[in-house]
Amino acid sequence: MELRLCDLKVEKMGVVKYIQDNPISAKLAEFGILPGSKFSILNKAPFYGPIFILVENNRIALRRKEAAFIIVE
């Protein structure tokens, strides 16, 4: 079973395994979310709000739908 970024708990760290093909793949790459990138979950907003992550000293807010495309380990 694959673990998606949106499934991780706050303060967890991980590495991006790969990104499923989706309309925002290019935008994720611009943000530095690439296979092999290390990240940590900073916060998750309530009521299915955004997920805040830290990737290479960049704070990024992702919609949960977007985070579902990111497979991690």
Q: What CATH number was assigned to the domain covering residues 3-72?
A: 2.30.30.90
- 12-40 per-position pLDDT tens digit: 999 999 999 999 999 999 999 999 999 99
Instruction: Report whether 70 contacts 5 (CB < 8 A).
Output: yes
Q: Which two tokens stand for residue 22?
A: 């989706």
Prediction pTM value: 0.92
pLDDT of residue 1: 80
Given a cut of 90, whether residue 7 has pLDDT beyond it is yes
Mean pLDDT value of segment 48-59: 95
Q: Which two tokens stand for residue 7?
A: 């499934």
Q: Which two tokens stand for residue 30?
A: 């611009």
Element (H, E) at 65: helix 64-67
